[in-house]
C-alpha cells in the first residue's frame, strides 16, 4: 500500500510491532537513513528474497528507498510472500522531511 509521508509517519506512530525497512544500496544507506531502519538491498535478488522470508510476517513493515519505486516493488514482493502489512513511502528519501541518522 502506498502512503504519503504524512500518512506513513502517522500510521507508523499508531501501530505496534513496526519495522522500518530500507531497500536501498549500501552506498545510499551510508549517506543517511531513517532512524531504526533495517537495510535489505532489493538489488541483491535471491538474497533479498531469503532475508525478507526470514522476517516475522505478523509485524508491520514501513518500506522506503530513494524515490519510492524500489520500495513499491519490495512491498509487492512482500505481499506475494504472505506479508499483509507492507507500506510504501511515496517519494522516498528524496521527499523525506523527517529525521535522518
**Per the residue annotation, which of 21, 40, 65, 86 is the catalytic one?**
65
* C-alpha cell of residue 93: 528519501
How many CB atoms within 10 Å of residue 28? 18
Give catalytic status of residue 65 as yes or no. yes
Q: Which residues contact 99 (CB under 8 A, 6 or more apart)?
A: 34, 35
What amino acid positions are annotated as catalytic residues?
A: 65
Amino acid at each position: 500500500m502506498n502512503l504519503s509521508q504524512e500518512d506513513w509517519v502517522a500510521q507508523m506512530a499508531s501501530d505496534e510491532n513496526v519495522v522500518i525497512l530500507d531497500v536501498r544500496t549500501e552506498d545510499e544507506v551510508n549517506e543517511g537513513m531513517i532512524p531504526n531502519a533495517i537495510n535489505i538491498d532489493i538489488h541483491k535478488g535471491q538474497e533479498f528474497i531469503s532475508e525478507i522470508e526470514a522476517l516475522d510476517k505478523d509485524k508491520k513493515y514501513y518500506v522506503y528507498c530513494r524515490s519510492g519505486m524500489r520500495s513499491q516493488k519490495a512491498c509487492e514482493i512482500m505481499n506475494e510472500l504472505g506479508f499483509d502489512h507492507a507500506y510504501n513511502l511515496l517519494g522516498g528519501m528524496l521527499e523525506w522531511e523527517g529525521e535522518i541518522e
